């Protein structure tokens, strides 16, 4: 199972994207989201636990996120919404850093490396979606939601996930727009990170491929001699 740790993380992320929208607006929306986030936390711990220190740090960040997620479900207190978001962002950033380190230090292009790259891209969108929802929760004027006509603090997180990935991919549909300096800054930063990530990733993978090609050519040359 550890061999496919990046695969399990990818599956958990994709499941969240596919399953959660079916429960949006229903009475079980928060419960389903907490369950899905718990699964992602577990998969994230597995993906990031390449060393004992990574496992320890991962648990240190994941446990508070898990606890505040479920305390929010049980109590519905705003403080747990904020704490849950902060701890989740910290944990996902840690997982991103660990996986990116694996990609940048890899000696060859493998399926696991490609899966890791996809995971990082999806986690980047997830991190920003949580950040956007926190900004909106703190100040509902942070975003102009157009035809959604939101009630204060009453907009589904999936809307910000949608906005996050439209920004990360620089698609920029425009139905949700940042309206304050903080939200505009966060949005600009995500767009820049999305472009840079693709550039750095492609450069790294091409570099690894060329390195492998040279090694293979050298080995063939040695055998011929």
Domain residue ranges in the chain:
2-224
Q: What is the pLDDT of residues 38-83, one digit of tens each?
A: 999 999 999 998 888 999 999 999 999 999 999 998 998 999 999 9
Q: Terminal CA-to-CA distance of the chain, rounded, Å? A: 42
The pLDDT of residue 110 is 80
3-class secondary structure per residue, 119-173: HHHHHHHHHHHHHHHHHHHHCHHHEECHHHCCCCCCCCHHHHHHHHHHHHCCCCC
Number of Cβ atoms within 10 Å of the Cβ of 40: 27
Q: Which residue in the block uniquely carries the two structure tokens 């090694």? A: 215
| CATH number of the 2-224 domain | 1.10.287.70
Q: Which residue in the block uniquely carries the two structure tokens 């939601």? A: 145
| CB-CB contact of 83 with 48 (8 Å) | no
| CB-CB contact of 47 with 5 (8 Å) | yes
Q: What are the helix and strand counts (H, E) for the chain?
A: 7, 2
Instruction: List the beta strands (DSSP E) in the chain.
Output: 143-144, 177-178
| CB-CB contact of 78 with 137 (8 Å) | yes
| CB-CB contact of 58 with 100 (8 Å) | no
Q: What is the pLDDT of residues 158-217, one digit of tens each?
A: 889 999 999 998 887 778 889 999 999 999 999 999 999 988 888 877 777 776 666 665
Q: Is 178 helix (H, G, I), strand (E, B) or coil?
A: strand
The pLDDT of residue 213 is 65
Q: 26: pLDDT confidence band, cut at 50, 70 and 90?
A: low
Q: Is the pLDDT of residue 223 over 90?
A: no
């Amino acid at each position: 199972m550890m061999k496919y740790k990046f695969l399990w993380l990818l599956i958990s992320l994709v499941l969240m994207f596919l399953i959660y929208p079916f429960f949006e607006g229903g009475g079980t929306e928060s419960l389903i989201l907490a369950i899905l986030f718990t699964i992602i936390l577990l998969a994230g711990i597995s993906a990031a636990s390449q060393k004992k220190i990574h496992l320890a740090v991962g648990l240190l960040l994941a446990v508070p996120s898990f606890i505040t997620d479920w305390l929010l479900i049980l109590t519905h207190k705003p403080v747990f919404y904020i704490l849950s978001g902060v701890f989740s962002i910290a944990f996902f950033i840690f997982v991103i850093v660990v996986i990116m380190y694996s990609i940048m230090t890899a000696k060859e292009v493998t399926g696991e490396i490609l899966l890791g790259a996809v995971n990082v891209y999806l986690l980047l969108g997830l991190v920003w979606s949580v950040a956007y929802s926190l900004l909106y929760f703190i100040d509902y004027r942070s975003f102009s939601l157009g035809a959604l006509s939101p009630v204060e603090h009453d907009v589904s997180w999936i809307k910000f996930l949608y906005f996050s990935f439209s920004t990360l991919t620089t698609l920029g549909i425009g139905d949700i727009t940042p309206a304050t300096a903080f939200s505009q800054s966060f949005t600009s930063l995500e767009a820049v990170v999305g472009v840079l990530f693709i550039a750095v990733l492609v450069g790294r993978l091409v570099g690894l491929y060329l390195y492998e090609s040279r090694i293979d050519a050298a080995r063939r040359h040695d055998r011929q001699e």
